């Protein structure tokens, strides 16, 4: 059997830990800046530029969300591959590879000819590049979390680990801000070439991120497992044999959070267009919400170290159910202040609680460093397909069919209910709170 010791405190070397935290956060920001660009462009550009299949704009958006979903389908494959390598050769090497792959795929999206230029090849190539993004994203988040969680002491693990999702929030903030700036161009210029600028800008930034990751040291826990011969040949099989319960728990805990993420941050743009709210207003509000989300995640991460991971995550999962209907009702008013209030409650408060407590909770559910990357990554990304990947497309289809937002709100609340039930069945993982 593999090393079954829970995530242990590494030697207290503040400077190396600080470097690991900062580098992981910046890497997450760069990686998810690239990944989120597609979600925004799927609503604003891709339906018209790559999928001009109907006079109904919602149909084109649904088609572009097909590529969005395929990116999510690729994420479990990426998680399996990256998890296997991460548990065999180390977290650092895999994270460097994922960041570089994401950067290349995003840059190529920025130079890709549209349907009008090369016909059917355009959407096919776009989807293939999205799959490349999905493969990279499948290994990124788990690896970033483990780089921190396996280096920090248990008494402050949630706080330090929360810098990883804070980095992802920063990436979304940067992608929203980039599109907000690009949309300041005249509409024809934006649709012709302006939308490409955020994609092209990513490559040089990603090279900086790759350089920073190459300077990182491997986690002490993995080094210990490797030097003592406690790595396993097939980590994922080891998870299925000896750790099926935490695998299923992570999937259930992720469903509601993943759905909320992409319903609130991607589908809300679709609903905004349906209500004839300007893209600039929506992007400005979302950018402000994401700016506030970053300190919120760190706040709830710190609170999770004090009150326990389960308590904070339970608050967030119940919050999904509570805010599902008010969020869309506030959007229906089309008043900017009401929309901003809805985003504050749903993103800054509810989603912040989930993201702040999730990294420590998930990493502590898997006791063995030799299978943690594979188990956590695969479970997390499988749930991402079901929870996040199909959510914007399903929500858009519901809106198009019923011409009402309330079936969408019911769908979101239902996913939140699944996660709420799961967290009540999940034990506390904080060593001092068990």
DSSP string, 362-429: HHHH---TTTHHHHHHHHHHHHHIIIIISHHHHHHHHHHHHS-SHHHHHHHHHHHHHHHHHHHTSPP-
Examine the pLDDT at 2 and tell me if it is beyond 50: no
Which H or E element spans position 433? none
pLDDT at 63: 66
Cα(226)–Cα(217) distance, rounded to whole angstroms? 14
3-class secondary-structure state, position 25: helix
Which residue shows structure tokens 């230029």? 117
Going from N- to C-terminal start, the domains of the chain cover 14-424
Q: Which of 300, 297, 318 is nearest to 309 (CA)?
A: 300
Q: Which of 271, 415, 394 is nearest to 342 (CA)?
A: 271
pLDDT at 1: 42
Question: What per-residue string of b and e applies to 21-60 under the rule 16 or more CB within 10 Å gives b?
Answer: bebbbbbbbbbbbbbbbbbbbbbbbbbbbbbeeeeeebbb
Listed ranges 150-164, 235-249, 381-395; the one with the highest mean pLDDT: 235-249
Examine the pLDDT at 61 and tell me if it is beyond 70: no
Cα(411)–Cα(391) distance, rounded to whole angstroms? 9
Q: Both tokens of residue 372?
A: 């943690």
Listed ranges 203-212, 264-273, 344-353; the one with the highest mean pLDDT: 344-353
Q: What is the pTM of this model?
A: 0.84
Kindly report, residue by residue over 78-114, the tens digit of the pLDDT: 999 999 999 988 888 898 899 889 889 999 999 999 8
CATH value of 14-424 in 3.90.79.10, 3.40.640.10, 3.30.9.10, 1.20.1250.20: 1.20.1250.20
């Amino acid at each position: 059997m593999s090393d079954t010791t829970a995530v242990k405190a590494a030697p207290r070397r503040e400077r190396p830990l600080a470097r690991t935290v900062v580098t992981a956060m910046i890497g997450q920001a760069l990686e998810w800046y690239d990944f989120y660009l597609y979600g925004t462009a799927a609503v604003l550009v891709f339906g018209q530029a790559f999928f001009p299949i109907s006079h109904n704009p919602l149909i084109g958006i649904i088609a572009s969300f097909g590529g969005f979903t395929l990116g999510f389908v690729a994420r479990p494959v990426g998680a399996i591959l990256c998890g296997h390598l991460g548990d065999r050769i180390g977290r650092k090497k895999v994270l460097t590879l994922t960041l570089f792959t994401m950067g290349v795929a995003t840059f190529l999206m920025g130079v890709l000819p549209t349907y009008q230029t090369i016909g059917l090849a355009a959407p096919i190539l776009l989807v293939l590049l999205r799959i490349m993004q999905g493969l990279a994203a499948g290994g990124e988040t788990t690896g970033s979390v483990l780089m921190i969680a396996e280096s920090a002491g248990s008494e402050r693990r949630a706080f330090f680990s929360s810098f990883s999702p804070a980095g992802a929030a920063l990436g979304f903030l940067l992608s929203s801000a980039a599109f907000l700036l690009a949309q300041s161009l005249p509409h024809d210029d934006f649709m012709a070439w302006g939308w490409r600028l955020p994609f092209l800008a990513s490559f040089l930034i990603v090279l900086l991120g790759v350089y920073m990751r190459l300077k990182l040291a491997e986690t002490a826990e993995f080094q210990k497992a490797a030097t003592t011969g406690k790595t396993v040949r097939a980590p994922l099989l080891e998870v299925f044999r000896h750790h099926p319960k935490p695998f299923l728990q992570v999937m259930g805990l992720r469903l509601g959070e993943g759905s909320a993420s992409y319903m609130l941050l991607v589908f809300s743009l679709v609903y905004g267009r349906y209500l004839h709210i300007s893209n600039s207003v929506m992007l400005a509000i979302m950018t402000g919400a994401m700016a506030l989300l970053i300190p919120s995640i760190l706040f709830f991460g710190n609170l999770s170290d004090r009150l326990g991971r389960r308590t904070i995550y339970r608050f967030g999962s119940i919050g999904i159910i509570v805010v599902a209907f008010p969020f869309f009702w506030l959007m229906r008013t089309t008043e900017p202040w009401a929309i901003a209030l809805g985003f504050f409650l749903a993103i800054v408060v509810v989603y912040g609680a989930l993201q702040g407590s999730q990294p420590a909770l998930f990493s502590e559910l898997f006791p063995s460093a030799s299978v943690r990357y594979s188990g956590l990554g695969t479970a997390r990304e499988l749930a991402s397909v079901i929870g996040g990947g199909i959510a914007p497309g399903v929500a858009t289809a519901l809106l198009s069919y019923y011409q009402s937002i309330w079936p969408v709100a019911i769908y979101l609340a239902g996913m939140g209910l699944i996660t709420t039930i799961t967290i009540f069945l999940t034990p506390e993982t904080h060593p001092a709170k068990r």
